[in-house]
Amino acid sequence: MEEKRLEILKIIKPIIEAGGYELVDLTLGSGKKPIIRIFIYRPEGITIDDCVVVSKAVQFELDSLGHLGRYYKLEVSSPGLDRPLMTERDFARNVGEEVRLFYKNENGDNEEFEGKIISSDKRGVKLEFEGEEKFFLWDSILRGKLIY
C-alpha cells in the first residue's frame, strides 16, 4: 500500500503545487473502490472551488495514466485546524505555537513532548518548555499536533 501511495504522490504533487497549493497529506483506503484522500493548504485558506479544481486536475492525470483502474473515489479537502504537523513547512508556519510532538527516542520507543515551537529547519525542530530548549531531528519525529 505504501508503494502505491508513494507512486501517486509522485504523480500528483507537481500538479497540486503548479496550482499554487501545498500537498499536506495523502491517504489511501483499500477495497473494491479504493479511496484517495488528498489534503491541500494555502495561506489564504481553501475553498470548495479550490477542492474542485484540484480534484479535476488530479483525476484527469490519474485516469490518463490508468494506475488505479477505472474505479476509485477521490476526496480533496483542507486538513482542518486539528491537522497533524508533518513537514518542515508545517512546523515553520506555526513558530510560536504550542505543540505536542510525537517522536521516537534513541531506544526506538514512542514518546511525547509538549512545548512552544522555536524554530524549524532542514535538520529538525526546536521546542521550548519551561525555559528548556530541546531539538528533535526529522528522523525521530512522527508528527506534531497543535495544542489549543
The per-residue pLDDT for range 94-141, each reduced to its tens digit, is 999 999 999 999 999 999 999 999 999 999 999 999 999 999 999 999
Q: Which residue has the higher pLDDT, 66 or 93?
A: 93
Query: 125 with 135: CB under 8 angstroms?
Result: yes
Residue closest to 78 by CA, chosen among 115, 121, 40: 40
pLDDT score of 77 more than 70 = yes
Query: 71 with 59: CB under 8 angstroms?
Result: no
Is the CATH code 1.20.120.1770 the one for domain 84-146?
A: no
Domain with CATH 3.30.300.70 in the chain: 2-77
| Residues 77-90, mean pLDDT to the nearest whole number | 86
pTM of the model: 0.71
Output the nine-digit C-alpha cell for 106: 534513541
Can you name the CATH fold of 2-77? GMP Synthetase; Chain A, domain 3 (3.30.300)
Residue 70's pLDDT is 66
- At 63, the pLDDT band (50, 70, 90 cuts) reads confident
Residue 68's pLDDT is 65
